[in-house]
Amino acid sequence: MKIRSNMAYPWRKISVNSRARRIGHGICGSNRQPRSFALTFWLPIRRPMQPLTVVIPIYNEEACLDGLLTEVCQVVGCDPAQVEILVIDDGSSDRTPDMLQAWRKKCPALRVLTFAANAGQSAAMAAGFRSASFDHVVAMDGDGQSDPADIPALASRLDTFGVVCGYRATRRDTLSKRWGSRLANATRRAVTGDEIIDIGCSLKGFHRGPLQHIPYFEGAHRFLPVLLAMQGCSIAQVPVHHRPRSAGVSKYSNWGRLRRTWKDLLGVRWLQSRALNYRVSHDSLLDAALPDSEAAPQREVSAAD
C-alpha cells in the first residue's frame, strides 16, 4: 500500500497477527481448522503543531465569514498561547467589521487588523506577516474556497522547509479560470525559472523571519515563493483541497489578473537579475572575541542568509 509523504502527519505501519475462523466453523459439527492472517494498516503519528499564526486577508466577505472562521477554529483551536487567527479587514464596506467584532468575543485567538481604506490583497498580507506573533505562518484566502482542514499539512512541513506551497489538485472553478491559471503559471515559470505548480493557490506556509526581508509591492502576493527563494528558502509543495465559491463575489477576473501581473512579472525577473551575490569568508570581529588559540573556524555567510 503506497502512502503519500505529504500527509498532515508522519505515518507509522501497524501489523497485527490474528487467528480467524471461517464462517460456519464450529457449526453443525464442522471440524475445519481456523486459519491465521495478518492485518497491516497505517496510523498517523500525531505530533503537536508548533505555535501558528493563520493569516486571512478579507474584503467584503460577510457571506463566507461565519463558515470560514468556524472551520478554522475547529481545525487549529482557539488557544491564544498556541494559535493566532489574524484576520486583516481590507476596508470592508459590508457587515464584515461587525461580524469580526462578534467573533472576537467567541474566539480568544482571533485578532483583527482593520484598514482605514481598501489597500489590496498584497498590502493586507504584508500587514499580516509583519504583525504575526508566531514564527510559523499559514496564509489563506477568506472566500471559503480553500479548505482549513489542509492547514496542518502545511504547518507540519514547516519544520523542514522554508516555504510550503499548496496546489489545487482538483480545482473547482470555471473553465476559463482554470485555463487562465494554467497559462499564467506556465508563463511565470518560463520567465522566472521557478518550479511552483500553482502559485495562485492561496494556501501557503512560511516562516515569519524571511517574510520581513522581501520587497513588498502591489501584486507581491502572487510571487511570494519566488521572492523567498531569492532569500535562500527551500520550497515544498503539497496537494490541497479546493471548493467552489458558495457565496460572495470574486474580486478578480482573468483580464484583471493579466493586466496587473505582466508588469509585476517583469519586475520580479528584474529583481532576480539584479540580486546581490556575495559570501563573507572572514569576520575579524569574531577573532577579537577569542584568543588566537581558541578562535573557532568561521562559516561563510552568503547574500541569502
pLDDT tens track, the chain, 305 positions: 333 333 334 444 444 444 433 333 333 344 444 444 444 444 444 556 799 999 999 999 999 999 999 999 999 999 999 999 999 999 999 999 999 999 999 999 999 999 999 999 999 999 999 999 999 999 999 999 999 999 999 999 999 999 999 999 887 767 777 787 788 889 999 999 999 999 999 999 999 999 999 999 999 999 999 999 999 999 999 999 988 876 655 555 555 666 778 889 999 999 999 988 888 998 888 876 666 555 445 554 455 55
- Cα–Cα separations (whole angstroms), residue 116 to 55, 119, 221, 233: 19, 9, 20, 33
In a domain, 293, yes or no: no
- Is 242 in the same domain as 128? yes
pLDDT score of 41: 44
23 lies in which domain range? 11-44
In a domain, 285, yes or no: no
**Amino acid in position 292:** D
pLDDT score of 169: 85
In a domain, 301, yes or no: no
Query: How many independent structural domains does the chain possess?
Result: 2
pLDDT score of 183: 87
pLDDT score of 255: 57
Strands (E) across the chain are located at: 11-20, 35-44, 52-58, 83-89, 110-114, 136-139, 163-168, 204-207, 235-240, 279-280, 301-302
Query: For residue 107, how many other CB atoms are within 10 A of its CB?
Result: 17
- Is 15 in the same domain as 61? no
CA distance linking residue 261 with residue 166, whole number of Å: 20
**At 144, is the secondary structure helix, strand, or coil?**
coil
For residue 251 the three cell numbers come to 474580486
CATH code for position 192:
3.90.550.10
